[in-house]
Amino acid sequence: MSIKSDRWQNLLSDDSLWKSYNEYVNKWEKSIGSFLQFDADKTKGDSSSDGLLKGMPFGVKDNIAVKGFDMTCGSKILENFNCPYTSTAVQKLQGAGAVVVGKMNMDEFGMGSSTDNSALGETNNPWDKSRVAGGSSGGSAASVAAGQVPFALGSDTGGSVRQPASFCGVYGLKPTYGTVSRYGLTAYASSLETIGICAESTAITRDVFNTMKGIDNMDNTTVDYKPSGKDDTEIIAVLKVGENDLSEDVLNSYRVSQQRLKDLGYKLIEVELPTLKYVVPAYYVIATAEASANLARFNGIRYGLAQKGAETPSDLMQMSRNSGFGDEVKLRILLGTYVLRSGFQDQYYHRAQKIRTAILNDFNRIFEEADALMLPVFPTAAFRHGSSDLTQLQQKAADLYTCSANLAGLPALAVPSTIEKGLPVGVQFTAPAFEEERLFRISEKLEEIFPAQKPEGFSEEWKI
């Protein structure tokens, strides 16, 4: 399979096409603000490589390193940080002919589910500007939904690619942990996160994934890619959900998805994940613990915001961190510092690791009977900006369906399903490690009959 979207192929080499594309991007930017940096001139014509992705423009979440672009991570502390190197994943895409056109907005350091935690700009959902695009890879998902780019890289620590993909109606892949190099991905929670993909089709998702995967000497956690070879699915396990677990719209969509799979000839079995109720606390313990160390490097000394008026190096560190980090980031650093205190690790960190093993065991049990597991992405469709629909705490609790795959290191794909009251709702599939192709095939079958819907204002020819 290769990419069908010929419309992107000549974009960079055809000046008039490029001009209308630029206008199209700018028009959408006024209403959605998906980019933190869009710098067409710098990269245009930089598609020298001939490859699978030749000429394809793409966006990169602003926590992934691309030399020559800034890398802000949506934070004031890195607002003026010009990145001196390129991540392995982006290098591989560039090697296949794809061209970075910009850096995408995100929740500060990936901490959030709405992109509202970005210190540097607001991103709106292309389907409804009063609503969030999701997060933390909100800019990536929104730009793909609006047709600004065919795909954009995100990062998924607890659902940060799949949830915004679902909110915006695009495909969102979190690969198996260790298959895509994290070299160049600003670390939030190293043991949980991977670089992920938001894309307009399953085919593009597949091509981008296959281009990026592989062992990297710069990332010792990358592993040999060894799928079982069983790419086709017969039995799909479906997570049993209660009436109150999901919003009415999402519950409805979830049922429609099941019916569609039945119609496509899959055998469905209903399953439960007994550990699911523990995953959110476990996820937040591990994520914040790792974050407290990962974010310690931002101290204003070698790069980033250096607060003026400091008299000693330690003053400089404290003042820069105090003014450079947003509240959510500070909260998570404090939480992480708390759970790692000596004498408290058994209660928090070690316990969380046990839950991690337990959820993986849950999944493994299911995969003895089924080829893949279907589960919701998020309990609601895109919510409104601010905390009127969901408080910050409710947003965290809602990570349960997505963060399980991160705890277990498994691949998971969010697939656009239905439109409910004008908002897209996706559904999620997960499979054993390295079985991305299995997920792509399920997604492709659904896509053939129920292709992703487009928001109003979307144009394949970049017509305003």
Partner 1 sequence: MKYQSFVGLEIHIQLISKTKVFCSCPNHFGDEPNSNVCPVCLGYPGALPSLNEEAVFKALKVCKALDCYINEKVIFDRKNYFYPDMPKNYQITQFESPFGVDGFFNLELDDGSIKKIRIHDVHLEEDAGKMIHDGYQSRLDYNRAGTPLLEIVTEPDLVAGRDAELFVQQFRQMVRYLDVTDGNMEEGSLRCDANTSINLPGKGLGTKTEVKNLNSSRFVNKALTYEIKRHGKVIDKGGEIIQETRLWDEKTSTSKSMRTKEDSHDYRYFPEPDLPPYRVTDVLMKEVEDSMVELPNDRKKRYMDDLKLSFDQAAFITGERKTADWFDSLLSIGSDANQAASWLSGDIQKILNKEDVLLENSPFIPKRIKELFELINDKKISNNIGKEVLQAIFKEDKDPSVIVKDKGLEQVSDSGAVEKIVEEVLAAHPAVVDAVRAGDDKQVGFLMGQLMKATGGKVNPQMAREIIVNKIKLDISGDSQSRDPKIIEKGSEK
Which residues are at the interface with partner 1 (CB under 8 A)? 63-65, 71, 73, 78, 81, 84-85, 87, 182-187, 190-191, 217-221, 289-290, 292-293, 296-299, 301-303, 312-314, 316-317, 337, 340-342, 345, 349
Beta bridge partners of residue 236, listed in sequence order? 268, 372
Q: What are phi and psi of 430, to 5 degrees?
A: -135, 160
CB of 372 to partner 1, least distance (A): 27
Which residue number, 141 or 287, has a Cβ lying nearer to partner 1? 287
Which residue number, 70 or 200, has a Cβ lying nearer to partner 1? 70
CB of 250 to partner 1, least distance (A): 32
CB of 371 to partner 1, least distance (A): 28
Q: Which of 114, 140, 160, 257 is catalytic?
A: 160
Which residue number, 219 or 371, has a Cβ lying nearer to partner 1? 219
Spatial CA neighbour of 83 closest among 71, 73, 101: 71
Residue type, 322: N
CB of 184 to partner 1, least distance (A): 4
Residue type, 453: Q
Q: Is 61 a catalytic residue?
A: yes
Which residue number, 221 or 364, has a Cβ lying nearer to partner 1? 221
Which residue number, 204 or 286, has a Cβ lying nearer to partner 1? 286
Per the listing, tokens 């802000």 go with 72
Q: What does DSSP assign to residue 213? A: B
- Please give the Cα distance from 14 to 55 (Å, whole number): 11
- Please give the Cα distance from 253 to 426 (Å, whole number): 8
Give just the sign of the alpha carbon dihedral 169, 429, 172, 98: negative
Q: Which of 61, 92, 396, 454 is catalytic?
A: 61
Residue 70 near residue 80, CB atoms below 8 Å: yes
Q: What are phi and psi of 20, to 5 degrees?
A: -70, -35
**Terminus-to-terminus CA distance in the chain, angstroms?**
31
Q: At what angle do helices 436-449 and 202-212 cross, to 10 degrees?
A: 160
Count, residues in the chain: 464
CB of 186 to partner 1, least distance (A): 4
Q: Is 136 a catalytic residue?
A: yes
- Please give the Cα distance from 320 to 309 (Å, whole number): 10
The helix (H) or strand (E) run that includes residue 241 is: none
Q: For residue 191, what are its two tokens?
A: 């043991």
- Please give the Cα distance from 151 to 430 (Å, whole number): 21
CB of 114 to partner 1, least distance (A): 22
Alpha-helical segments (H) within 7-137: 15-32, 40-43, 88-95
- Please give the Cα distance from 357 to 353 (Å, whole number): 6
Q: Is 2 a catalytic residue?
A: no
Which residue number, 34 or 86, has a Cβ lying nearer to partner 1? 86
Which residue number, 109 or 171, has a Cβ lying nearer to partner 1? 109
Q: Which of 136, 143, 181, 201 is catalytic?
A: 136
Give just the sign of the alpha carbon dihedral 178, 289, 196, 281: positive
CB of 53 to partner 1, least distance (A): 22
Would you name the residues annotated as active-site residues?
61, 136, 160
